Amino acid sequence: MVAASFHSPPPPTHRPPPFEMGFLHLFIVNKSGGLILHRPLGPTAPKISTNEWLRIGSTFHSLHAIAAEATPVKLPGNKNSAGADDGIEQIEGRGIILKCLQTRTGIKFVLTAEPGTPGIDAVLREIYVLYSDCALKDPFYELEMPIRCELFTNAVDSLIDQVVNGGVMMR
Amino acid sequence: MAMSRSSTNILDRPLGRSGGRAEGSVVSLSAFAYIYSELVQYHQQRAASISELERRLESAGYGVGLKVLEMTAYRAKEVSGRPWTIILLLDAHCSFVPPFSLIRHRRRDPPSRQTKRETRLMSILHFVSSSVWKSLFGKAADSLERSIDHADEYMIIDYEPIASTFVSIPPDLGQLSADAYVSGIVAGVLDGAGFTARVTAHSVKVEEGEYTRQGGNIIPGIPPRKDKAVFLVKFSPEVLTRDAALER
């Protein structure tokens, strides 16, 4: 935050939250580091081109792998408690929070949001459910390939809509 | 002797969401979706075009339709609960058999199941859209309509076709209907019953306010469907001629 008050500061009775809370982006990386889906989730999401996203996806994939190697504490078999490969679970910055859910098959669901956004973990798990429903049961989806299932993207949009407007998780 | 309905045989249980009979009479939609997905992929690899893929799915369903007709027609009588069954049940459960000649006479009859064989066009269509649909999907079809332009065309409409619950048709496959398998089943049932027909499945956009599902979505979290499945049944001319002759 920028310290900008040179004048006498008014007594802060009620300060608005420092950041607008909201989801920014969802991206999904397959087990070899290829980006299989990216989707802006809110109006505040920065505009990033698909090529950039491909780069971010594979960079994140590498960092995730390095993080698991670099950690001084090795979990048994380098697996976390959920049975997935160990690695980055969360990155926090001033204006961004990034959370990663890696599944046992090596798919990484990564969600970025503004700090303070509630329910990121729950949304990630829900997106995992939607992926296994809408993409994996679709005869026209090929594993490890980009997700082009209309049903999946619609479901993700309506999930985010529900969480933002309703404030409650349905399940 | 009595054909009691307490059977737990797996063949007697319907495939669908709400068999409503006994615990475990419902097949998991996920299991079905996975196997259907594999079926579609198998045929997609071997088909050169969209229409060939649809034809392959239809022929995969055709044999199912013939068997479903046998099974549903056989079971239909149990549901209807005719007095015939009651007499047999009394006979089986009571040590005392009333000395009525009528019952004695009936007892000597072979245990026929008194299944009604549908001979008319409208009755067989009704049978397909209610009995067959219920035994396959646990619900009746949403509507049965007759084409205005063509007397030989009928439409069975399902707003939530189970086969394509999780299917997103990619844009390059355009007009493909993922319910072609079900249209094959319908064709099998009709053909087996002596009503030769060409059945095709079509995916049609649902108009605003045309249909709203009661009681939330089928799958929590997945938005309601935007398309319905229309099964277009086109009977062959001899079927119509026969039905017209029966009319007289």
Instruction: Report the alpha-carbon distance of residue B125 to residue B154 in Å, rounded.
Output: 9
Question: Which CA distances in Å does A156 have to A113, A125, B161?
Answer: 15, 12, 22
Which DSSP category does A117 fall into? -
To 10 degrees, the CA torsion angle through B30, A149, A171, A95? 150
Q: How far is A154 from chain B (nearest CA, A)?
A: 7
Interface test with B, best of A138, A152, A160, A162 (most B CBs within 10 A): A138
- Beta-carbon contacts of residue A23 (< 8 Å; ≥ 6 apart): A41, A42, A45, A111, A112, A113, A114, A117, A120, A123, A160, A163, A164
Q: Do B33 and A137 touch (CB under 8 A)?
A: yes
State the architecture of A23-166 in CATH terms.
2-Layer Sandwich (3.30)
Q: Do B166 and A171 touch (CB under 8 A)?
A: no
Q: How far is A75 from chain B (nearest CA, A)?
A: 34
Neighbours of A140 (CB within 10 A): 19
- What residue segments make up the domains of chain B, in order of their start? 44-78+117-247, 81-116
B168 closest CB neighbour out of A129, A151, A171? A151
- Phi/psi of residue B117, nearest 5 degrees: -95, 120
Higher pLDDT, B241 or A21: B241
A170 closest CB neighbour out of B37, B178, B221? B221
Q: What confidence score (pLDDT) does residue B214 get?
A: 67
Question: Which CA distances in Å does A94 have to A18, A113, A116?
Answer: 10, 11, 11
Mean pLDDT of B19-44: 79
Q: What confidence score (pLDDT) does residue A13 get?
A: 52
A139 closest CB neighbour out of B30, B37, B222? B37
State the architecture of B44-78+117-247 in CATH terms.
2-Layer Sandwich (3.30)
Higher pLDDT, B248 or B111: B248
Most confident of B79-93, B95-109, B168-182: B168-182
Q: Do A140 and B221 touch (CB under 8 A)?
A: no
Q: What is the pLDDT of residues B91-132, one digit of tens each?
A: 344 333 443 333 333 443 444 555 678 889 999 999 999 989
Q: Do A159 and B222 touch (CB under 8 A)?
A: no
Locate B93 and state its tokens: 């459960």
Q: How far is A102 from chain B (nearest CA, A)?
A: 21
Most confident of A158-167, B35-44, B126-135: B35-44
What is the amino acid identity at position B85? T
Where do we find the tokens 């007289």? B248
Q: How far is B103 from chain A (nearest CA, A)?
A: 55
Edge-to-edge strand list for the sheet holding A90-92: A35-40, A23-29, A108-113, A97-102, A90-92
Q: Do A126 and B220 touch (CB under 8 A)?
A: no
Q: How confident is the model at residue B218 (pLDDT cuts 50, 70, 90)?
A: low
Higher pLDDT, A20 or A55: A55
- pLDDT over 70 percentage in chain A: 85
Q: What confidence score (pLDDT) does residue A85 get?
A: 82
Question: Which CA distances in Å does B68 have to A119, B11, B124?
Answer: 47, 11, 14
Least Cα distance to B182 among B64, B76, B70 occurs for B64
Mean pLDDT of B15-23: 44
- Beta-carbon contacts of residue B116 (< 8 Å; ≥ 6 apart): B76, B77
Instruction: Report the alpha-carbon distance of residue B246 to residue B119 in Å, rounded.
Output: 9
